[in-house]
Amino acid sequence: MNNKHLKFWLVLLTGYWFTLPAFAYTKVTPSSDRIVSIGSAVTDLVVTLGGTSQLVAVDSTSNVPPSAHVKMLGYQRQLSAEGILSVKPSVVVGSDEMGPPEVLQLLQQAKIPLITLSSAPTLSALQDNIRKIATLLGTPKRADLLIKEIDNKVSTLTQRQKTQKHIDSTIFLLILGSGSPQVAGKGTVANRMIELAGGENTAAQTVNGYKPISQESLLEMKPQTLLVPQRILNNLGGTSGLIKHYPILAATPAGENGQIYGVDQHALIGGFSLITLNEAQRLASIISPPNSSKKVM
Residue 1 banded pLDDT, cuts 50, 70, 90:
very low
Q: What is the pTM of this model?
A: 0.84
Q: State residue 165's pLDDT score.
A: 74
What pLDDT, in 10s, does the model give residues 26-46?
Answer: 444 566 889 999 999 999 999
Q: State residue 172's pLDDT score.
A: 97
Q: State residue 12's pLDDT score.
A: 47
Q: What is the 3-state secondary structure (H, E, C) of the chain?
A: CCHHHHHHHHHHHCCCCCCCCHHHCCCCCCCCCCEEEECHHHHHHHHHCCCHHHEEEECCCCCCCCCCCCEECCCCCCCCHHHHHCCCCCEEEEECCCCCHHHHHHHHHCCCCEEEECCCCCHHHHHHHHHHHHHHHCCHHHHHHHHHHHHHHHHHHHHHHHCCCCCCEEEEEECCCCCCCEEECECCHHHHHHHHHCCEEHHHHCCECEEECCHHHHHHHCCCEEEEEHHHHHHHCCHHHHHHHCHHHHHCHHHHCCCEEEECHHHHCCCCCHHHHHHHHHHHHHHCCCCCCCCCC
What pLDDT, in 10s, does the model give residues 234-252?
Answer: 999 999 999 999 999 999 9
What pLDDT, in 10s, does the model give residues 265-285?
Answer: 999 999 999 999 999 999 998
Residue 87 banded pLDDT, cuts 50, 70, 90:
very high
What pLDDT, in 10s, does the model give residues 109-151?
Answer: 999 999 999 999 999 999 999 999 999 999 999 999 999 999 9
Q: State residue 249's pLDDT score.
A: 95
What pLDDT, in 10s, does the model give residues 143-191?
Answer: 999 999 999 999 999 998 888 777 889 999 998 766 789 999 999 999 9
Residue 3 has pLDDT above 60, yes or no: no
Q: State residue 241's pLDDT score.
A: 93
Region 15-23: mean pLDDT is: 37
Q: State residue 16's pLDDT score.
A: 37
